[in-house]
């Protein structure tokens, strides 16, 4: 395929039309919002009534991991799928190391050595805080994933160490673990995604832990996998 | 086992199953395919015989209702009228199968051909047995589809072009029919075929709608019945192999249309309603015009099959015409012509196929002297041609006779003019062929060796036999018309049913 | 004008602006960004609703949960789109989708 | 049996994950087991709904509005059943298809000598992702997400389901890493993303208005507020984009035609139905009170234009798969004509609404089987001939008779010719149109059939065309593939022969309860 | 039982006919048996008492068979003539390679001819009539000469037109009668509101076969070109089929139809005279005989006309008709066969003399000289004419003898032509085989005609011919004719030259007609004429064109390409969304 010049953004007609329609949309959305009842309460009362049965104190977490655990479970699947889709783009099942293994240099090296433990601690803290305050698995996973990325970007070996099976296992852990617990309980006679009240807290923690790890690895995988195989490069070649 | 329930279904399956099995065979599996074909058609023939006996001698009705939609059933019913088309297609399928086996020997894609061929018969039987409008529609449309591969069988650009035209016409017709049926069913609920019609009660409130619906139904059916101006596909479809043309013209496609018209007029609208709506005169006029127009066009064609095709255009409208006249004798004429036209026209096409196959004759002008080397084929052709003209004692005369009487009964003497003019024109385009065949001097290129000039060199029996058989039947159908088991007698039963009932 | 309405209107405006961006910008990255921002607009609205629905100082946790879930979903989709875009760029050198030629 | 609804989600997920975890050739075995089990479970679910009526399940034991409920009524069961059957067919086909593909890929043209590639599940060293290996887990996930979508009774959960579906679809499209597929996948992803955002905004507005997310509660609330109305418009347009209703179909032809055949089949036959399902679910339950005739008519009008434009484009395509993809654009138009017919036009108590409802869904069913068969047929031709240019198919009918027979049968179903499932759908929709006096839809429904015939006949006639030049011997095609192509086509035919029971299934829990007793022909 | 005898009459020639295509020994046997094919018919023609009508309710539309007094005479004539002609043909065609073909058509024609006589219902009659008509074509064109083919063409065209008339008339008659039986048909015609139309159709339809002016044009062409045996039956027997049709189905004698009577009598008289006059200008003796047949049929038709006009006359007139038909059939057959025999005489003076004498005898008989069959036939005719309508007999009394003068002169020319031009052309060695049947026919003609009225106990006795008035009226025209001949003879003897300088080509009025038709009819095209475009086919072609065009280069259309653009799609998304929302809000 020939390398074409970049196509300019849309012409003035499209822009003008788009602005007009955009304004109209805004107008309508505004009308809708203005017509809303400002005094509604939504599901707040309903949640608060039964938060005691959920095993956690923080209402959003209760909703996320218990009342609407189905959403969360599927959301993990979405993330898994995204990472997975990115992996499919690659030919090799293992993720590559950073190609140019430069020495990170003393400053960066020091920074990395300082930041990685800090990030891990922060992650664990966020996870733990999730039960009664804002925070939780995704935040934690995000921080830990960032740490892994930092390692990689500064030339350390990180995700490349994972064998294909490890990589897949890590990606799957959150979703599969969640599912395994739910399925086991389901088979033993509980409603699907219902936790025995006594075990609810523990189950939520385990699930959160697994999700944290999966999220972290998924983020890194998404980042790394986006880098194309050399073999599959177009005629232009390489990354630019 | 409830035979009344199963027999109609077995009737369908006797060609459907061979069709499906044949599709799985390879071209080379000649014997298996042939025995499937012949076996299926023999079973069908026997069943048709059993059912004919049951219906005619014991006064039984065979009926099978199968659930289809909410309150809509698929009904297969054997009664005298359906027996006519069933009998015709069973007999002619058997004969045509033998012919086709001989005709297509060694040509490519035989499996496909015979598969669709059997499907085509299945659809025709379905049309014949249909006990209500929706069942009829289903098989009617199925017929359009399964005949398409047969029309384009040769795969030449001309065949494909013809196939496109064919498909567009038949599908277009199907669309009109579908609309008409749906509209009617919305007004009347599920409409089944009962002699005398079942929708009289709509007359007061829905007069205009009923008229429009009638137009839609007839237009949809008229495509297949090749009523002018919807006839153009028929001559084009002549590009198909001879057995296809034969079956298409004699039994399957055009008959489906004509039979549908008979059903709609007698068994959906009924005598009373049709009369009160004043819809029959236009139909009669269209049919009459078609008869004349087809004949005129036939005169101008010199390709044998095209001439035959226009002849079909003309002849099939006899059925529509007779139906539109609505008298007892006209009904007899119309229904008996269903059969008579079939056997006569198939004879002609068989012969045309033989000429094309054995002598590479496609044009009438090349036919000089062909009767000398192929006297039997030419005899069959002659019988067919005279039958078409309406010369007694051949079958065509019987139909024409009843139509003529019927036209007077229905106080439409102008129809006689059409009938006679058609006869004269039939003579004008058939007799020259007969003349050339028997009395013309053979062309140089045909008789390679002078010594062989008067040598008889007929086509193989598998081609000749069917032609002679149908020619013989068309002779007997006329000669023994008054016999209790002749097509005519059957047609009289059919007409009686429709005339007596209120 | 209540606080609720201010945030809600901002969300509406953001949504409309992002839509404009998606339509008029050709660069894939910009499109992806616009889409992501669009998601943010909706999340803003949800948070606003959660605040509106508060009872006794406790905000409605259901929209919060929805936002959290939504963010993950949006992030996943965004990340996947970015991966694809990088791949696409690597293969063709283009930074925009070649519209008129969808079949290549 | 009453829990089939859960298992029908769980089993494909479990098998998908297992296939992913195991990788290599065993993925195929696991995938096949998953397909078979899911098919059986779908059947069980259909049976359950058939026998015991609507199935409702409170997940986690939390009642609505707090928790999320699953619901399987006739509509869900109908679509799950269809997905099960089509999915099984596609799976069996895929077994052989990817075996073939993977073998073709074995001598990898990778110029990179530093990464010696081996096929299959190697221990150590560098494995490669073979499309066949990646296919199974993704396909299982796609299947699961369809079932999630069909069963979910919560508008936000439906959003998650939609996204799951989209991502799985995109991942499958790019399975072979071809450039065309990647562009198409990216375009699809962005378009679907846009649609999801519109949908999500609608969810937010509805929640703001009603304070609940459960479909049942929303239906009972009979919302008519401005926010709900705006949400209705937003959700509708978002779903129209995802369902590729003209003129928002810009992403579909490329996406559906550049994917591997089993994926194309799944996308066209099933995935498009996901968005359609969601739209009618919302429209006839949540927006039953807020919806207006004009919106319905407009959606129908778009459907009508889709039929015409899609068919015309289909005929203009040089490649078979693109032709089939455009055919999907046209057929999607048919589905949406159901909305004005079943909508609030005229007498709201009229029986034609239910007829249109069943007719439209039956059309969806027929299209599912027929289109799957067509794409799979195209896949066979593509792998056997090495191309799918319609112009060059001459003579191939004699070599692939069953393939073209199936193509023809599927085409019949698309045209709505009897006897086929398509006919039943068309019949019911036409009846409804005639009964309600909406003649304009009658015309388009009828003309649409003829337009469909246009491109189906062209493919067939090209194939039948007498072959003038000698072609090289085609690549042999595994029998199982041919059989599946035929089986799916045959299903689209057989379902037209006896529609009484499937139609009865659709009555269960349908939104026109009051009308059901009135449907007397 | 009787039924099967009647069927046997038809089955015998039919079976023999269908033995011929089998070839080999079967064919040879069939040809050998050909002369005997009409024997059953001959036997059936002999009983004095007519049996009741027999119905075969399985045949055709229910056939009935039988004879009445009139038709029995026709049967006698027909069977006799076919038998004789059969023997004759056996030898005439002895050297003919195509004898099997001749025999085939001969037998089929015979079947038809016999069938129409024994048929008592209109359908069987018509079927037989058609069989005879179409089979006779094979006889007419037997020689394959250009003349024969042209004659055949004219013959078949006229035959088809005739069938058309008949069919039309039959439909209306049968509808009105509610039956196909001849007796009901006659009543039905009278009852019908279209009785005039029916009568017109039947008159014209049968008239073509009977050679009524102006429908006779085929006759002078076809009769002469056929092989002699065929000419004999054509002119002797088959020409009477038309007459029989009239007699059987027209309600003659049941109601007065003066209009039709007048028309027919005028036509018949024109035929009687013009036949003679045109005949005189012919050089070919067979053509001359054909014109003579036209003229003679004119005589008979006159009586039919009388019956039409005056029902009372018919009882007697019908017998007259039948007797005249018997006479004319046998005599004309003998004349035609004689021509063939004359050719075969070679240079043998004795043979030539015998032939000339024989021919002269039958020629005189035809002219109606006293004591001949002609005299009896004419007397019988007159019996009918006398009872005819007021005033007619005056004219007919005068005109018929005048025509007889013409006949005498015509026969004179015939004998002269034979004597001068035809004797001993060729010799195939079949003289004896042909001469014997001919002589038998000549010999039998007189007794048959004289005895038939006695045998069948008809109302007209042979004695009528000896009544003085009749004796005189049969004598003087012949004498005058002989005188005229004498004058001409004298003229020729004095200055040997052709007597008749005018030559009217055979077919007379046909010639200008043919010329006109040739101008009107477009020539047969060599190429297929381009057909007018068919909208549906054009539609399918243009549809296909779209596809073909796309396949050959251009891909997605511009419009579609536009739809595929992101920004356009995005704008459309926005627009549709806006419209949907607005529609939602606007209620």
Q: Read off the pLDDT band of B453 (50, 70, 90).
A: very low
Q: Beta strand pairing status for E63-65 and D69-72? A: unpaired
Share of chain E above pLDDT 70, in %: 94
Share of chain B above pLDDT 90, in %: 23
Give the residue carrying structure tokens 């997905």: D83
Q: Does E565 touch chain C (CB under 8 A)?
A: yes
- Other Cβ atoms closer than 10 A to A133: 13
- CB atoms A21 and E571 under 8 Å: yes
Give the tens place of pLDDT for each residue, E289-333: 999 999 999 988 988 888 888 888 888 888 888 889 999 999 999
Is the CA virtual torsion E119, E123, E125, E127 positive or negative? negative
Distance from CA of C104 to the nearest CA of E (A): 11
- CB atoms A21 and E578 under 8 Å: yes
Q: How many domains does chain E have?
A: 2
Q: Is residue E519 part of a domain?
A: no
Q: Does E572 touch chain C (CB under 8 A)?
A: no
Q: Does B424 touch chain E (CB under 8 A)?
A: yes
- For chain E, list residues whose CB is within 8 angstroms of any CB belonging to chain D: 543-544, 546-547, 549-552, 555-557, 560, 563-566, 568-570, 572-573, 576-587
B133-151 and B110-129 helices, crossing angle to 10°: 160
Could you check whether the bond before residue A195 is cis, i.e. omega within 30 degrees of 0?
A: no
Quick one: which of B315, B491, B487, B474 has its CA closest to B387? B474
Contacts with B428 from chain E: Cβ below 8 Å: 160
Higher per-residue confidence, B367 vs B213: B213
Contacts with D279 from chain E: Cβ below 8 Å: none
Report the mean per-residue pLDDT for chain D: 85
Do D97 and D481 contact (CB within 8 A), yes or no?
yes
Tally: H helices and E strands in chain A = 8, 0
Give the mutation candidate from A165, A191, A195 for the D interface (greatest D CB count, under 10 A).
A191
Range of the domain at A131: 57-225
Instruction: Tell me the β-bridge partners of B64.
Output: B76
What per-residue confidence (pLDDT) applies to E425? Answer: 66
Q: Read off the pLDDT band of E497 (50, 70, 90).
A: low
Supply E168's token pair: 């039309």
Query: Do E573 and E449 reside in the same domain of the chain?
Result: no
What per-residue confidence (pLDDT) applies to E145? Answer: 87
Q: Read off the pLDDT band of B247 (50, 70, 90).
A: confident
What per-residue confidence (pLDDT) applies to D361? Answer: 92
- CB atoms E574 and C19 under 8 Å: yes
Q: Is residue E543 part of a domain?
A: no
Give the residue carrying structure tokens 């003289």: E431
Higher per-residue confidence, D457 vs D469: D457
What per-residue confidence (pLDDT) applies to D377? Answer: 93
- CB atoms E578 and A25 under 8 Å: yes
Distance from CA of D254 to the nearest CA of C (A): 5
> Dmax of chain D from CA atoms?
73
Contacts with E544 from chain B: Cβ below 8 Å: 161, 164
Distance from CA of D67 to the nearest CA of A (A): 5
- CB atoms C87 and A222 under 8 Å: no
- CB atoms B482 and E539 under 8 Å: no
- Residues E552 and B36: their CA atoms lie apart, in Å, by 44
Task: Spell out the domain ranges in chain C.
Answer: 3-96
Q: Which of C24, C53, C82 sits opposite A44 (nearest CB)?
A: C53
Average pLDDT of the segment spanning D373-388: 89
CB within 8 Å of chain B, chain D residues 432-471 = 434-435, 442, 446-447, 449-450, 453, 457, 460-461, 464-467
Distance from CA of C38 to the nearest CA of A (A): 13
Partners of chain E (3+ Cβ pairs below 8 A): A, B, C, D
- Residues B299 and B291: their CA atoms lie apart, in Å, by 13
Sequence-ordered list of residues with C-beta below 8 angstroms from that of A143, at least 6 positions apart, any chain:
A119, A122, A123, A126
- CB atoms E567 and A18 under 8 Å: yes
pLDDT at residue C58 greater than cutoff 90? no
pLDDT at residue D109 greater than cutoff 70? no
What per-residue confidence (pLDDT) applies to D157? Answer: 93
Average pLDDT of the segment spanning B243-247: 84
pLDDT at residue C101 greater than cutoff 80? no
Kindly report the CA angle at A192 between A186 and A195, in degrees rounded to 5? 85
Give the mutation candidate from E563, E570, E575 for the C interface (greatest C CB count, under 10 A).
E570
Chain B nearest-CA residue for E193: B408
What per-residue confidence (pLDDT) applies to A100? Answer: 54
Do C36 and C78 contact (CB within 8 A), yes or no?
yes
- Other Cβ atoms closer than 10 A to D202: 27
Q: How many domains does chain B have?
A: 1
Q: Read off the pLDDT band of B300 (50, 70, 90).
A: confident
Q: Is residue A237 part of a domain?
A: no
Give the tens place of pLDDT for each residue, D132-149: 778 888 999 999 999 999
Q: Read off the pLDDT band of D514 (50, 70, 90).
A: low
Going from the C-alpha of B163 to that of each of B142, D290, D490, the distances in angstroms are 16, 50, 24
Range of the domain at B27: 3-500
What per-residue confidence (pLDDT) applies to E146? Answer: 86
Supply E17's token pair: 């006919």
- Distance, C-alpha C83 to centroid of its chain: 17
Report the mean per-residue pLDDT for chain E: 85
Contacts with A18 from chain E: Cβ below 8 Å: 567, 570-571, 574
Supply A136's token pair: 């939780």
- Residues D481 and D96: their CA atoms lie apart, in Å, by 7
Higher per-residue confidence, D294 vs D466: D294
Average pLDDT of the segment spanning E494-508: 69
Query: Do E175 and E47 reside in the same domain of the chain?
Result: yes
Q: Is residue A30 part of a domain?
A: no
Give the mutation candidate from D197, D229, D287, D326 for the E interface (greatest E CB count, under 10 A).
D229
Q: Can you tell me whether residue E67 is helix, strand or coil? A: coil
Average pLDDT of the segment spanning B451-475: 78
Quick one: which of E173, E186, E297 has its CA closest to E243? E297
- Residues D386 and D237: their CA atoms lie apart, in Å, by 39
Average pLDDT of the segment spanning E228-233: 90
What per-residue confidence (pLDDT) applies to C99? Answer: 54
Transcribe D454-514 into DSSP letters. HHHHHHHHHHHS---SPPPPPPP--HHHHHHHHHHHHHHHHTTT--HHHHHHHHTT-TTHH
Q: Is residue A212 part of a domain?
A: yes
pLDDT at residue C100 greater than cutoff 50? no
Average pLDDT of the segment spanning B448-469: 69
Instruction: Tell me the β-bridge partners of B132.
Output: B192
User: B169-173, B352-356, B494-498, E531-535: which range is least confident on average?
Assistant: E531-535
Higher per-residue confidence, B372 vs B15: B15
What per-residue confidence (pLDDT) applies to E511? Answer: 80
- Residues A30 and A37: their CA atoms lie apart, in Å, by 13
Give the residue carrying structure tokens 């009660």: B201
Average pLDDT of the segment spanning D103-128: 45
Do D403 and D388 contact (CB within 8 A), yes or no?
no
Do D262 and D139 contact (CB within 8 A), yes or no?
yes
Give the residue carrying structure tokens 């009998």: B87
pLDDT at residue B139 greater than cutoff 60? yes
- CB atoms D126 and A94 under 8 Å: yes
State the ipTM, two decimals.
0.87
Give the tens place of pLDDT for each residue, A170-226: 888 888 998 898 888 888 888 888 888 888 888 888 888 898 889 988 888 888 877
- CB atoms E584 and D229 under 8 Å: yes
Buried b (16+ CB within 10 A) or exposed e, B186-218: bbbebbbbbbbbbbbebeeebeeebeebbbbbb
Q: Read off the pLDDT band of D1 (50, 70, 90).
A: low
Distance from CA of E568 to the nearest CA of D (A): 9
What per-residue confidence (pLDDT) applies to C102? Answer: 41
Share of chain B above pLDDT 70, in %: 96
- Distance, C-alpha E278 to centroid of its chain: 20
> Dmax of chain E from CA atoms?
124
- CB atoms E564 and C26 under 8 Å: no
Quote the strand ranges of B79-151, DSSP E: none
- Residues B258 and B224: their CA atoms lie apart, in Å, by 8
Q: Which of D247, D316, D390 sits opposite E563 (nearest CB)?
A: D247
Average pLDDT of the segment spanning D246-262: 88
pLDDT at residue D385 greater than cutoff 90? no
Range of the domain at E182: 2-510
Q: Read off the pLDDT band of E85 (50, 70, 90).
A: very high
Q: Is residue A121 part of a domain?
A: yes
Query: Are chains A and C in contact at 3+ CB pairs closer than 8 Å?
Result: yes
What per-residue confidence (pLDDT) applies to D123? Answer: 38
- CB atoms B413 and E194 under 8 Å: yes
Average pLDDT of the segment spanning A70-95: 83
User: B342-351, D71-80, E526-535: which range is least confident on average?
Assistant: E526-535
Q: Read off the pLDDT band of B444 (50, 70, 90).
A: low
What per-residue confidence (pLDDT) applies to E556? Answer: 57
Distance from CA of D476 to the nearest CA of E (A): 27
What per-residue confidence (pLDDT) applies to C104? Answer: 33
What per-residue confidence (pLDDT) applies to A151? Answer: 83
Higher per-residue confidence, D433 vs B24: D433
Q: Is residue A8 part of a domain?
A: no
Q: Which of D412, D417, D503 sits opposite B69 (nearest CB)?
A: D503
Q: Does D450 touch chain E (CB under 8 A)?
A: no
pLDDT at residue B46 greater than cutoff 60? yes
Say if domain C3-96 classifies as CATH 2.60.120.580: no
What per-residue confidence (pLDDT) applies to D125? Answer: 42
Q: Does A91 touch chain C (CB under 8 A)?
A: no
Last residue in a domain, options E479, E510, E541? E510
**R_g of chain C computed on alpha carbons:** 17
Q: Which of D57, D145, D167 sits opposite A85 (nearest CB)?
A: D167
Q: Read off the pLDDT band of A240 (50, 70, 90).
A: very low
Q: Which of C20, C65, C92 sits opposite A64 (nearest CB)?
A: C65
Contacts with D193 from chain A: Cβ below 8 Å: none
Q: Kindly report the pTM of this predicted structure.
A: 0.89
Q: How many domains does chain A have?
A: 1
Q: Read off the pLDDT band of D454 (50, 70, 90).
A: confident
Do D334 and D448 contact (CB within 8 A), yes or no?
yes
- Other Cβ atoms closer than 10 A to E277: 16
Chain E nearest-CA residue for A22: E574
Query: Do E566 and E434 reside in the same domain of the chain?
Result: no
What per-residue confidence (pLDDT) applies to D60? Answer: 83
Partners of chain D (3+ Cβ pairs below 8 A): A, B, C, E
H or E stretch covering B434: helix B414-439
- Phi, psi angle pair for E137, to nearest 5°: -55, -40
């Amino acid at each position: 395929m020939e390398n074409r010049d970049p196509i300019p953004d849309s012409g003035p007609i499209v822009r003008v039309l788009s602005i007009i329609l955009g304004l109209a949309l805004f107008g309508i959305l505004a009308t809708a919002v203005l017509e809303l009842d400002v005094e509604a309460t939504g599901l707040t009362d309903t949640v608060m009534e039964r938060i005691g049965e959920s095993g956690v104190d923080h209402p959003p977490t209760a909703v996320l991991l218990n009342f609407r655990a189905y959403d969360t479970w599927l959301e993990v699947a979405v993330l898994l799928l995204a990472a997975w889709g990115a992996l499919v783009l690659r030919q090799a099942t293992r993720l590559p190391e950073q190609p140019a293994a430069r020495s990170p240099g003393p400053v960066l090296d020091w920074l990395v050595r300082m930041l990685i433990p800090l990030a891990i601690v922060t992650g664990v803290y966020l996870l733990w805080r999730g039960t009664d305050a804002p925070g939780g698995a995704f935040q934690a996973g995000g921080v830990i994933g960032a740490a892994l990325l930092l390692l990689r970007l500064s030339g350390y070996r990180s995700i490349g160490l994972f064998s294909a099976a490890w990589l897949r296992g890590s990606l799957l852990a959150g979703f599969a673990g969640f599912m395994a617990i739910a399925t086991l309980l389901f088979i033993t006679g509980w409603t699907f995604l219902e936790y025995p009240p006594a075990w609810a807290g523990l189950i939520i923690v385990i699930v959160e832990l697994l999700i944290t790890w999966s999220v972290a690895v998924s983020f890194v995988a998404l980042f790394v996998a986006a880098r194309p195989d050399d073999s599959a490069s177009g005629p232009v070649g390489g990354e630019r | 086992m409830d035979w009344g329930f199963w027999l109609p279904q077995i009737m369908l399956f006797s060609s459907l199953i061979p069709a499906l099995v044949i599709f799985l065979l390879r071209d080379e599996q000649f014997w298996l395919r042939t025995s499937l074909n012949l076996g299926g058609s023999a079973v069908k023939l026997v069943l048709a015989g059993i059912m004919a006996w049951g219906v005619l001698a014991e006064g039984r009705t065979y009926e099978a209702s199968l659930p289809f939609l909410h309150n809509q059933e698929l009904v297969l019913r054997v009664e005298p009228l359906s027996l006519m088309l069933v009998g015709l297609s069973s007999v002619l399928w058997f004969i045509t199968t033998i012919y086709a086996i001989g005709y297509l020997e060694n040509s490519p894609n035989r499996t496909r051909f015979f598969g669709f061929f059997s499907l085509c018969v299945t659809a025709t039987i379905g049309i014949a047995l249909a006990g209500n409008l929706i069942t009829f529609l289903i098989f009617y449309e199925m017929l359009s589809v399964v005949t398409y591969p047969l029309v384009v069988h040769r795969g030449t650009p001309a065949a494909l072009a013809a196939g496109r035209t064919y498909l567009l016409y038949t599908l277009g017709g199907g669309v009109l029919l579908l609309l008409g049926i749906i509209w009617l069913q919305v007004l009347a609920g599920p409409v089944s075929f009962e002699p005398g019609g079942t929708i009289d009660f709509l007359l007061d409130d829905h007069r205009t709608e009923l008229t429009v619906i009638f137009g839609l139904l007839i237009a949809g059916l008229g495509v297949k019945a090749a009523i002018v101006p919807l006839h153009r596909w028929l001559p084009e479809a002549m590009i198909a192999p001879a057995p296809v043309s034969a079956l298409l013209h004699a039994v399957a496609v055009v008959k489906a249309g004509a039979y549908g018209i008979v059903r709609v007029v007698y068994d959906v609208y009924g005598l009373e309603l049709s009369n009160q709506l004043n819809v029959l005169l236009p139909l009669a006029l269209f049919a009459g015009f078609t008869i004349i127009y087809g004949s005129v066009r036939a005169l101008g064609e010199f390709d044998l099959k095209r001439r035959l095709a226009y002849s079909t255009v003309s002849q099939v409208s006899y059925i529509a015409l007779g139906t539109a006249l609505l008298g007892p004798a006209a009904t007899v004429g119309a229904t008996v012509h269903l059969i008579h036209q079939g056997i006569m026209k198939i004879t002609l096409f068989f012969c045309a196929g033989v000429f094309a196959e054995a002598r590479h004759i496609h044009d009438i002008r090349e036919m000089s002297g062909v009767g000398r080397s192929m006297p039997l084929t030419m005899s069959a052709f002659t019988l067919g041609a005279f039958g078409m003209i309406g010369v007694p004692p051949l079958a065509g005369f019987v139909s024409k006779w009843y139509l003529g009487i019927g036209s007077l009964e229905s106080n439409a003497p102008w129809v006689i003019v059409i009938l006679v003019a058609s006869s004269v024109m039939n003579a004008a385009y058939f007799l020259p062929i007969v003349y050339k065949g028997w009395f013309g001097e053979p062309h140089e290129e045909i008789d390679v060796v002078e010594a062989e000039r008067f040598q008889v060199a007929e086509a193989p029996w598998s081609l000749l036999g069917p032609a002679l058989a149908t020619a013989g039947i068309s002779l007997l159908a006329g000669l023994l018309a008054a016999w209790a088991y002749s097509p005519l007698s059957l047609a009289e039963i059919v007409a009686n049913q429709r005339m007596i009932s209120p | 004008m209540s606080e609720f309405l201010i945030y809600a209107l901002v969300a509406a405006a953001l949504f409309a602006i992002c839509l404009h961006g998606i339509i008029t910008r050709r660069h894939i990255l910009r499109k992806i960004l616009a889409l992501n921002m669009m998601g943010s607009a909706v999340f803003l609205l949800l948070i606003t609703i959660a605040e509106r629905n508060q009872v006794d100082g406790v905000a409605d946790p259901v929209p919060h949960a929805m936002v959290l879930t939504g963010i993950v979903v949006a992030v996943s989709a965004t990340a996947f789109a970015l991966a694809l875009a990088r791949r696409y760029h690597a293969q063709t050198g283009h930074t925009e989708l070649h519209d008129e030629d969808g079949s290549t | 049996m009453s829990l089939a609804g859960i298992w029908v989600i769980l089993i494909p997920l479990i098998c998908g994950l297992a296939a992913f975890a195991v990788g290599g050739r065993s993925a195929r075995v696991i995938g096949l087991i998953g397909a078979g089990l899911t098919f059986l479970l779908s059947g069980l679910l259909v049976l359950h709904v058939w026998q015991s009526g609507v199935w409702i399940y409170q997940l986690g034991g939390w009642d609505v509005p707090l928790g999320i409920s699953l619901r399987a009524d006739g509509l869900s069961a109908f679509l799950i059943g269809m997905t099960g059957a089509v999915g099984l067919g596609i799976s069996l086909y895929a077994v052989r298809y990817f075996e073939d593909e993977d073998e073709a890929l074995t001598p990898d043209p990778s110029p990179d000598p530093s990464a010696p590639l081996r096929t299959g599940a190697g221990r150590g060293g560098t494995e490669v992702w073979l499309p066949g290996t990646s296919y199974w887990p993704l396909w299982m996930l796609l299947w699961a997400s369809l079932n999630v979508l069909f069963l979910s009774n919560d508008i936000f959960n439906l959003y998650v389901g939609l996204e799951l579906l989209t991502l799985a679809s995109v991942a499958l499209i790019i399975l072979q890493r071809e450039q065309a597929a990647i562009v198409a996948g990216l375009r699809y992803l962005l378009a679907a993303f846009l649609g999801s955002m519109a949908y999500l905004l609608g969810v937010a507005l509805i929640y703001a208005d009603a304070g609940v997310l459960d479909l049942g509660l929303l239906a009972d609330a009979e919302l008519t507020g401005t926010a709900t109305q705006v949400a209705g418009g937003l959700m509708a347009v978002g779903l129209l984009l995802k369902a590729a209703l003209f003129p928002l179909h810009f992403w579909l032809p490329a996406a559906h035609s550049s994917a591997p055949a089993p994926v194309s089949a799944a996308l066209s036959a099933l995935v498009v139905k996901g968005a359609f399902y969601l739209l009618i679910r919302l429209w006839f339950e949540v927006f039953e009170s807020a919806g207006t005739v004009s919106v319905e008519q407009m959606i129908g009008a778009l459907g009508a234009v889709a039929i015409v434009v899609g068919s015309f484009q289909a005929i203009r395509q040089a490649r078979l798969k693109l032709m089939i993809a455009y055919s999907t654009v046209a057929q999607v138009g048919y589905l949406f004509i159901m909305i004005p017919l079943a909508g609030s036009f005229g007498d709201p108590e009229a029986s034609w609404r239910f007829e249109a409802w069943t007719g439209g869904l039956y059309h969806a069913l027929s299209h599912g089987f027929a289109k799957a068969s067509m794409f799979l047929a195209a896949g066979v031709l593509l792998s056997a001939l090495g191309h799918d240019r319609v112009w060059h198919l001459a003579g191939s009918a004699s070599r692939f008779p069953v393939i073209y027979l199936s193509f023809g049968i599927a085409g019949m179903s698309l045209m709505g010719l009897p006897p086929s499932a398509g006919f039943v759908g068309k019949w019911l929709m036409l009846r409804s149109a005639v009964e309600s006096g909406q003649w304009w839809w009658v015309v388009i429904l009828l003309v649409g059939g003829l337009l469909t015939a246009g491109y189906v006949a062209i493919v067939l006639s090209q194939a039948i065309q007498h072959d003038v030049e000698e072609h090289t011997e085609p690549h042999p095609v595994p029998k199982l593939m041919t059989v599946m192509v035929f089986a799916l086509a045959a299903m689209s035919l057989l379902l037209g022969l006896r529609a009484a029971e499937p139609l009865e299934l659709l009555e269960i829990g349908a939104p026109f309860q009051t009308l059901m007793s009135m449907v007397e022909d | 039982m009787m039924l099967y005898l009647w069927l046997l009459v038809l089955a015998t020639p039919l079976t023999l006919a269908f033995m011929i295509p089998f070839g080999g020994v079967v064919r040879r046997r069939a040809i050998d048996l050909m002369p005997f094919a009409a024997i059953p018919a001959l036997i059936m023609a002999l009983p004095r008492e007519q049996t009741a009508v027999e119905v075969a309710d399985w045949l055709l539309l229910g056939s009935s068979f039988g004879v009445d007094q009139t038709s029995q005479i026709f049967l006698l004539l027909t069977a006799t003539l076919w038998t004789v002609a059969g023997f004759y043909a056996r030898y005439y065609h002895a050297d003919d390679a195509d004898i099997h073909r001749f025999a085939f058509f001969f037998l089929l024609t015979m079947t038809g001819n016999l069938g129409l006589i024994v048929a008592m219902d209109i359908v069987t009659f018509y079927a037989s009539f058609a069989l005879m008509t179409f089979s006779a074509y094979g006889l007419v064109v037997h020689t394959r000469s250009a003349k024969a083919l042209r004659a055949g063409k004219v013959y078949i065209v006229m035959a088809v037109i005739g069938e058309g008339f008949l069919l039309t008339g039959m439909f209306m008659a049968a509808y009105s009668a509610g039956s196909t039986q001849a007796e009901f048909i006659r009543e039905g015609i009278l009852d019908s509101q279209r009785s005039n139309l029916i009568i017109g159709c039947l008159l014209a339809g049968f008239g073509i076969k009977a050679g009524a002016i102006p429908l006779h044009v085929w006759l002078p062409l076809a009769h002469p070109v056929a092989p002699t045996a065929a000419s004999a039956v054509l002119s002797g027997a088959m020409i009477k089929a038309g007459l029989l049709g009239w007699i059987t189905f027209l309600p003659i004698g049941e109601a007065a139809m003066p209009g039709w009577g007048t028309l027919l009598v005028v036509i018949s008289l024109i035929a009687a005279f013009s036949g003679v006059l045109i005949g005189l200008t012919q050089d070919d003796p067979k053509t001359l005989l054909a014109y003579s047949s036209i003229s003679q049929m004119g005589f008979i038709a006159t009586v039919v006309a009388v019956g039409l006009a005056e029902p009372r006359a018919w009882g007697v007139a019908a017998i007259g008709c039948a007797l005249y038909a018997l006479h004319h059939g046998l005599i004309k057959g003998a004349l035609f066969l004689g021509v063939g025999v004359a050719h075969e005489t070679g240079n043998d003076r004795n043979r030539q003399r015998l032939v000339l004498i024989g021919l002269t005898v039958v020629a005189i008989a035809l002219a109606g000289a006293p004591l001949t069959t002609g005299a009896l036939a004419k007397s019988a005719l007159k019996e009918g004419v006398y009872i005819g309508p007021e005033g007619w007999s005056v004219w007919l009394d005068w005109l018929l003898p005048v025509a007889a003068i013409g006949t005498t002169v015509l026969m004179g020319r015939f004998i002269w032509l034979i004597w001068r031009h035809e004797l001993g052309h060729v010799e195939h060695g079949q003289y004896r085989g042909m001469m014997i049947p001919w002589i038998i026919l000549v010999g039998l003609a007189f007794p048959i005609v004289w005895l038939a009225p006695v045998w069948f106990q008809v109302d007209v006795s042979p004695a009528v011919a000896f009544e003085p008035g009749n004796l005189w009226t049969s004598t003087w025209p012949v004498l005058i004719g002989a005188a005229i001949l004498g004058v001409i003879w004298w003229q020729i003897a004095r200055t040997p030259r052709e007597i008749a300088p005018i030559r009217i080509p055979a077919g007379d009025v046909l010639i200008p007609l043919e010329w006109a038709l040739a101008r009107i009819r477009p020539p047969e095209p060599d190429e297929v004429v381009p057909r007018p475009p068919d909208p549906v086919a054009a539609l399918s072609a243009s549809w296909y064109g779209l596809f073909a065009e796309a396949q050959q280069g251009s891909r997605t259309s511009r419009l579609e390409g536009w739809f595929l653009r992101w920004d356009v799609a995005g704008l459309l998304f926005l627009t549709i969304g806006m419209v949907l929302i607005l529609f939602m809000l606007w209620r």
